[in-house]
Structure 1
């Protein structure tokens, strides 16, 4: 997996507007920060503290929320950089923030796949769900973090570690590997990070829908609808957030390495690249929809706890007012 950033193109082709790119990143990060921070913080709190131990996919949902929150916490630094065009926080923190962006992307893809597969398999084979142990989910999650962490390491290794210009993110200097290495990394990254997860989620969605239309025994109609909505929502989040980036990325690499030479084509590809990255960041706000709308118990616990807080505040106000009287 790799992500070469915007560099000056060939003599004859003008580069995309840096003002457009900077403004787009700044606005997107500002819009995502507060909703992403609140939604994922509440999700982690509820999922860890209130979800019944028998809930399916809760471990994967916790990891998904953690991945989103880790990226959201770097957004203030990104906003600062794109507004001030200066990075005074050191190269190490810059590379960490840069790394967490792609770690979030591919960890989110991985856990969306895990949620889809588990829900589909448990729907088709209810007896397997009863014998499934929570420690299996924990082991799968740990393995996924190791794989994704290692797979995203080229994002850091391909960056210039001797950056002295106080630049960061899209403006980071980059080491250029040869064309064969670049092609191998792009193909491997798109295959494992997009193509395989895409077909896996689509197959899970199709099999879930087909199973629900059949005569397989399921407890009730509500359970059927909930299972289908969960898998469909994973597919929708995946398509909105991650498909645009991965479909455009090979073209982007071919443009920056002069494989694509038509100026008009390159302009469209390079202009869409930051847009696709912003869509990928949007998953921090869309993933919590999976927890809230697809997990009945999550809604019940959140509503119950929220109601108890309101009742507590009302009671304290009433007691306070009666004391004054």
Structure 2
């Protein structure tokens, strides 16, 4: 393939297709099915389901952009650059939305175990407000994405008259130190947070199970599996990209473009690997939805049992009253 069409190599494009096709084929049905269960089967909003809904919507936004991204790496961009920038912003939103929502889910599990009687610390309403704040903040940071392809600043390799998307950003982009510092800081703080919450959840549950070895709720608690699943997905999907972006940023400002070609390929590959979070999040969906469905079934079971007891008492009460009334009538007749 003519290298003038793209600044990525053939092996990189092969890796992208190998990862993106399964991600799309499996990810779309998985996320839509999870959203359907939340909205139409569970119909019960808890802190976990609120955060999970935001995570699902976040993943669907990335999945929407993937077909266009696959096209952009194979061809010159034939659509509007405004739409291109919008799609690129969805990738940014997905990466940092996923990072923050995963941290929120782990933090919520930690708070529920560490402070079980402090109801004021967590509620579905507060979880909703947190999610709204996250969405607003992340989208508020997307405007720089719309400047990635400014022609007056675009001196990167390749024909300046060619229009590309998802690649060949302007050199000016990599000179904005505040962008890379902000992104890397968010990632590092999130990494420390999720590791802390994961370790503490495991420690707290281990202590509780030792004190109450026969407690079924503690044995069935999904918190450890949920935070560990989130932790593994977080580390696998996002560490490579942030390492690649940081190293490339340093090299871009101190070396010629011809000397950093392989680093550029590393950035593209690590970004591709990051999209796998749409699949790895599925394990979190499964655990949270399973827990929610079990809770709903238990609630319905308790309500059904309570209704049966109430109905039985009423029936017994009616039978006694009728019998007493009969005796009274006979006595009066006598």
TM > 0.5 fold call: yes
Residue 110, structure 1, aligned to residue 100, structure 2: yes
Which residue matches 2:310? none
Contact 1:26/1:78 (<8 A) preserved: no
Match of 1:323 in 2: none
Paired residues of 1:48 and 1:62 also in contact (CA < 8 A) = no
Q: Alpha carbon RMSD of aligned pairs, Å?
A: 3.1
Asked if 2 retains the 8 angstrom alpha-carbon contact of 1:60 and 1:111, the reply is yes
2:38 counterpart residue number? 47
Aligned with 1:168 (options 156, 159, 165): 165
Contact 2:106–2:194 (CA<8 Å) still a contact in 1?
A: yes
Between 1:20-29 and 1:110-119, the stretch displaced more is 20-29
Is 1:91 the counterpart of 2:81? The answer is yes
**Contact kept in structure 1, 2:12 and 2:268, CA below 8 Å:** yes
Match for residue 205 of structure 1? 198
Any unmatched runs of 5+ in structure 2? 153-159, 296-334
Q: Pick the aligned partner of 1:214 from 201, 207, 212.
A: 207
The structure 2 residue matched to 1:183, chosen from 174, 177, 180, is 177
* 1:274 correspondence with 2:268: yes
Higher relative contact order (CA 8 A, sep 6+): 1
TM-score, length basis structure 1: 0.77
1:240 to 233, 236, 240: 236
Q: CA deviation at 1:103?
A: 0.6
In the TM superposition, 1:280-319 aligns within 5 A as 280-297=274-291
Confirm whether residue 127 of structure 1 aligns to residue 83 of structure 2: no
**For residues 294 and 116 of structure 1, what CA distance do their matches in structure 2 show?**
12
Counterpart mapping for 1:64-83 below 5 A: 64-83=55-74
